[in-house]
Amino acid sequence: MNKIKIYNTLTGRKETIKPLKGKKINLFVCGPTIYDYSHLGHARTYIIFDVFVKYLRDCGFNVFYLQNITDLDDKIIARAKEKGVPAKDLAIAYEKEHLKDMKALGIKSVTKYARATNYIEEIISQIKRLKDRGYAYEIKDDGIYYDISKFKKYGKLSGRTVIQAEDSVSRIDYSKNKKNRGDFCLWKFLSTDGEPCWKSPFGLGRPGWHIEDTAITEKFFGPQYDIHGGGHDLIFPHHEAEISQMEAISGKSPMARYWMHIGFLTVNGQKMSKSLGNFITINDFLRRHPVNYLRFLIAKNLWHSQIDYSESIMIEIKTIIQKIEEFLRRLHPVKSARPGRAVSREAGQFNRAKNSKIIKQFKTDFYKELDDDFNTPKAFAVMFEFIKKTNRLLDDGLISKNEASEIYKIFEKINKIFEIINFKNITNQNKNSVPAEIKKLVQLRKKYREEQQWQKADEARQEIEKQGFLIEDTKEGSVVKRA
């Protein structure tokens, strides 16, 4: 099995993934808060984990990919009020849209989507245990809060101290009676009629944001698991809060061994925001470009680096994808061709040995880059270098049928992970169209036949057949079709 290294936010180092149990990897990724349409930032996180999980599975790991869906949150309640609809209806409608978007993006790797409101019992159980262990306190007529000063390792992920948790930039649950300004809400008591609420031993109310994740992961994975992922903006306070909750409850550390945080996606160099009017939903994007363009834009950048989206970058993406497809379109007839005339034996053997080395090197180097921090930009650079070399060999007719077939299979395998090439397009176009070089040979054969140069005409026919086409002479003239 491959040794796969990834950059771990928790330790600040690249580390080899060693699962807690054999080949089993339990992975949890923070899902969306469903109060609006999902945008390109969400697309980036979920596409990266989609390709990464497919890669892990391809390498022989048995991955349980769990994702929560936050269907109870202050943002949902506020948006529902604005629109004058019940919060539950709003959440259901946007959850539907989100899952539709995920399907449109080709995301099929998630094992389980866990809707927060289905785990209220588990959430209550965690809050009870935090209270029993002295990590949580109640503020009358307000809610139950987590006391961050009680958790000695607070800040181990984000590098913040209890004092720094007061940082005004961070999203912190507001209450003037909290012990520390960084304390966060575990259970909010019902204050306004009509808001969603559940019964609990503490009183009617609803859970805080951070507690749903740990309740869900404990339910499926237990107190410790392998990888936790999410957007970069979730490191603080959300993920710090998760660690504080789960490790305080279980006394076991670390809650998750590897933390993967996906870089930001900006639009024309700016952060995406409603007020700037540069908020691009997945739906908007897919009306403008095919889905594989987005998958490639995201896949070709290092997962923890920043990506900038712009229309000019999409033109670049289109050109690169066309280059890959053009390459495969050239290979396709070679791999489907009938065995051709024998080249001189020594020359043939020389090319086979040389080509076999080039192909092997490509495979090794491509996967080596993926194993090293899932470095997709370097892996794709290896791919383009290989395409360049092989295109030259194709120009000289030095790629054999078997080699073409092997290369084609490698690309199909890579595409199962990334889904950036539409193979149907390549084969369909081949069925319907006759490449220019074949048309030229047909014309040449016609000329030889008219000049009664039968041997040359026959050689042209053989060449056409070698490229995977058949020629039939009818009363109306010669007809060429794919063999």
List of residues contacting Zn ion (CB under 5 A): 30, 213
Contact 259, 229 (CB under 8 A): yes
Least distance from C-beta 193 to Zn ion, angstroms? 29
Q: Report DSSP letters for 323-387, one per residue.
A: HHHHHHHHHHHHHHSPP-PPPPHHHHHHHHHHHHHHHHHHHHHHHHHHHBTT-HHHHHHHHHHHH
Toward Zn ion, which CB reaches closer, 242 or 371?
242
Separation between Cα atoms, residue 225 and residue 235, nearest integer Å: 17
Least distance from C-beta 18 to Zn ion, angstroms? 24
Contact 115, 208 (CB under 8 A): no
* Pairing between β-strand 270-271 and β-strand 265-267 as defined by DSSP bridges: antiparallel
Least distance from C-beta 30 to Zn ion, angstroms? 3
Separation between Cα atoms, residue 238 and residue 232, nearest integer Å: 11
Least distance from C-beta 13 to Zn ion, angstroms? 24
Least distance from C-beta 231 to Zn ion, angstroms? 9
Toward Zn ion, which CB reaches closer, 221 or 448?
221
Toward Zn ion, which CB reaches closer, 30 or 420?
30
Q: Please give the single-letter amino acid code of residue 21.
A: K
Toward Zn ion, which CB reaches closer, 145 or 209?
209
| Sign of torsion over alpha carbons 224, 227, 231, 233 | positive
| Sign of torsion over alpha carbons 384, 386, 389, 395 | negative
Toward Zn ion, which CB reaches closer, 111 or 322?
111
Least distance from C-beta 229 to Zn ion, angstroms? 10
SS3 label, residue 136: strand
Q: Please give the single-letter amino acid code of residue 399.
A: I
Separation between Cα atoms, residue 73 and residue 196, nearest integer Å: 10
- Which among 1, 13, 32 has a CA at the least distance from the CA of 260? 13
Toward Zn ion, which CB reaches closer, 30 or 398?
30
Instruction: Say how many Å lie between the first and final Cα of the chain, rounded.
Output: 41
Toward Zn ion, which CB reaches closer, 101 or 213?
213
Least distance from C-beta 239 to Zn ion, angstroms? 7
Least distance from C-beta 183 to Zn ion, angstroms? 18
- Which among 432, 437, 421, 439 has a CA at the least distance from the CA of 380? 421
Q: Which residue's C-beta sits nearest to Zn ion? A: 30
Toward Zn ion, which CB reaches closer, 17 or 30?
30
- Residue with structure tokens 């009358």? 140
Least distance from C-beta 157 to Zn ion, angstroms? 13
Toward Zn ion, which CB reaches closer, 33 or 467?
33
Strand-pairing partners, residue 473, are: 478
